Amino acid sequence: MVIGADPRAGLHERSRFSEDFAMTRTILFDSPFLLGFEHTRDLIERAAKAASESYPPYNVEQAEHGGVRITLAVAGFSPEQLQVTVEGGQLVVAGKRDSADGRSDAERAFLHRGIAARGFVRTFVLAEGMEVTAATLEHGLLHIDLARPAPERLVKKIPIRSAG
């Protein structure tokens, strides 16, 4: 940042960088020399979208036996308001928030509103073979445990034929 410069200039530069990066990514994968890489492009786009989301905050931890634990801060949500699904190689966590007393926000007169009362959808791209083993809600934290099953060792015997 340049001292004395317009602080909004940095925001414009960052957004321009994001646009240039997105354009470069699109142009790169639209090359005729990269036919058949649509899956890779989709994977990169899903990961970029997931990284841009910021609510709710989360942690990803290495668990025992090579597993992974994702913890999301979902204070105020009940288990009935949360949904955890796996679709197309993505873990999707969704929360739908209902008013506790049944009144809509239009019917309330907030003097200060600092508690987020919105629903969310957060996606995580899963590595191939990762499986969700459990989801538990405890003290406002949603813990999602994932495991990677040990790969089966596949040995294939190739017969040798004589050339004569």
Is residue 33 scored above 70 in pLDDT?
no
Strand partners, 90: 87, 125
Does one domain contain both 65 and 145? yes
* pTM tops 0.85: no
Does one domain contain both 48 and 70? no
Q: What is the pLDDT of residue 50?
A: 55
Task: Examine residue 18 and state whether it is found in any structural domain, yes or no.
Answer: yes
Does one domain contain both 66 and 117? yes
Question: Could you tell me how many residues make up the chain?
Answer: 164
Task: Examine residue 16 and state whether it is found in any structural domain, yes or no.
Answer: yes
Does one domain contain both 66 and 136? yes
Is residue 13 scored above 90 in pLDDT?
no
Cα–Cα distance measured from residue 96 to residue 98, given in angstroms and rounded to the nearest whole number: 7
Residue 128, domain extent: 55-150
Percent of the chain with pLDDT over 70: 63
Does one domain contain both 97 and 32? no
From residue 128, alpha-carbon distances to 22, 65, 81, 88, 145 in Å are 25, 17, 28, 11, 16
Task: Examine residue 86 and state whether it is found in any structural domain, yes or no.
Answer: yes
The pLDDT of 67-73, averaged and rounded, is 94
Q: Which residue has the higher pLDDT, 72 or 48?
A: 72
Does one domain contain both 100 and 86? yes
Task: Examine residue 67 and state whether it is found in any structural domain, yes or no.
Answer: yes
The pLDDT of 56-61, averaged and rounded, is 92
Task: Examine residue 161 and state whether it is found in any structural domain, yes or no.
Answer: no
Q: What is the pLDDT of residue 99?
A: 66
Is residue 47 scored above 80 in pLDDT?
no
Q: Which helix (H) or strand (E) holds 16?
A: helix 7-29
Cα–Cα distance measured from residue 144 to residue 121, given in angstroms and rounded to the nearest whole number: 15
Does one domain contain both 61 and 141? yes
Q: What is the pLDDT of residue 66?
A: 80
Task: Examine residue 164 and state whether it is found in any structural domain, yes or no.
Answer: no
Residue of 140, 10, 15 whose CA lies nearest to 71: 140
Q: What mean pLDDT is reported for the chain?
A: 76
The pLDDT of 61-71, averaged and rounded, is 89
**Which residues have C-beta within 8 Å of that of residue 97, sequence separation ≥ 6?**
76, 77, 81, 117, 118, 119
